[in-house]
Chain A
């Protein structure tokens, strides 16, 4: 993904800082559409809030726990591989949430891909950015980029090496291009050096990148390290309109 952030003037004098709170065109459009949608009865503020609450609570922790449980319990692992929707319930994920019929974008066809000593999976959606949100939360930005989507299907080992993961040539690298309604998650192999670990300890090393397939779990590896591009107005820091109640 490029670093284009828009509006970088190299070598020009920057204009003085604006005296008013800046708001992006997208922020304006979102507010306009949400208000119009509510005014026209397309949804209610309560329904919007209900979905927001769901969106704010999903995250990769449920996936980490699913993998940890599967590592400790062969019967549960089997359930993950034969009926992933049912297995999801064990970690508090109901694929029918929050609407009762699933989310519009994520559907209800969850599939867990099991890595073996001779098979390593990695997931992409070349057409858009389909991702198992109910189990893993929202996708990382790089996963949505044209760059990742162009390259992973054709140069998977090269891309994986950029993430620091080298797969031996005799191990099959299998790219799963999720271009329809199935939603996939990788169940990586349990690494050496974790004998006697608790579910919590195991879950801690199953990071989001491990469940996409661009990283492998290892004792001591408890975070996916990427540089972070900070938001101008992160979630929870909404610019205040002047004199208008929201």
Chain B
């Protein structure tokens, strides 16, 4: 047996006294969930209920079932505060209003990103999309700028 295999086997039988370990293990096990998949690939028709479900404004979640979770505080990242200021300053100076921000970040963005991308990440993408849609910047200009900014921080290996 290799050393690493011995190390893995040794974790069995160890008393899981730590609550954070227990919580993590519970969530890991709970996240293994079988599902019946209905593959969607260029459908021909949808029922009225399904149409309503697909076009339902994503942000309207009140009353949807969900489970008790650990409500924790999250310390703010520096980019998150700056994102908030960016979006509000753009609003202050007339580039958009907050309702447009909400529509873009909370509805137009699509369900996958709505649930998958951090809260302020959606604010940021909404601002980016608005600037392009309203023709303040060109998308290629934005793409180039992103690459240029990244290059300041990441050394080429």
Give A contacts to B, CB under 8 Å: 1-3, 10, 19-21, 23-24, 26-37, 40, 42-43, 47-48, 51-52, 55-56, 99, 103-105, 124, 126-129, 138, 140-142, 144-151, 153-154, 158, 162-163, 177, 226-239, 241-244
Contact = CB atoms under 8 A, between A and B. Distances in A.
B63 A153 contact: yes
A72 to B, nearest CB: 30
A15 to B, nearest CB: 13
B75 A234 contact: yes
A197 to B, nearest CB: 27
B15 interface: no
B114 to A, nearest CB: 8
B119 A127 contact: no
Contact of B82 (A3, A34, A127, A228): A34
Interface of B: 23-24, 27-28, 59-93, 95, 97-98, 101-102, 106, 115, 118-121, 124-125, 127-128, 131, 136-137, 141-142, 145-146, 148-150, 152-155
B74 A35 contact: no
Contacts of A141: 72-74, 119
Contact of A2 (B69, B77, B89, B106): B69
Contacts of A241: 152-153
Nearest to A32: B145
Nearest 4 CB-CB pairs, A to B?
A: A104-B91, A126-B62, A141-B74, A142-B71
Contact of A150 (B62, B78, B102): B62
A178 to B, nearest CB: 12
A17 to B, nearest CB: 14
B72 A29 contact: no
Nearest to A3: B27
User: Which one of B131, B153, B154 has the highest number of Cβ atoms from chain A below 10 Å of its Cβ?
Assistant: B153
Contact of B73 (A36, A126, A151, A226): A226
A200 B88 CA distance: 33
A149 B85 CA distance: 24
A30 B79 contact: yes
Contacts of B63: 126, 150, 153-154
A242 B153 contact: yes
A144 B59 CA distance: 11
A8 to B, nearest CB: 9
A55 B72 contact: no
Contacts of B95: 37, 42-43
B92 A47 contact: yes
Contact of A237 (B61, B78, B106, B124): B78
Interface centre among B80, B85, B91, B95 (most CB of A within 10 A): B85
B93 A47 contact: yes
A235 B65 CA distance: 34
B66 A242 contact: no
A145 B149 CA distance: 30
A143 to B, nearest CB: 9
Given A33-B131, A127-B106, A236-B78, A147 B97 contact: no
B144 to A, nearest CB: 9
Given A35-B145, A231-B74, 17 more contacts: A3-B23, A23-B154, A34-B86, A36-B141, A36-B145, A37-B86, A40-B137, A42-B131, A104-B91, A104-B101, A105-B101, A127-B62, A129-B119, A140-B73, A146-B66, A227-B73, A228-B74
19 contacts: A3-B24, A10-B28, A26-B118, A30-B79, A30-B82, A30-B86, A32-B145, A33-B142, A43-B89, A103-B91, A104-B88, A126-B61, A146-B115, A148-B71, A149-B61, A229-B74, A236-B78, A238-B78, A242-B152
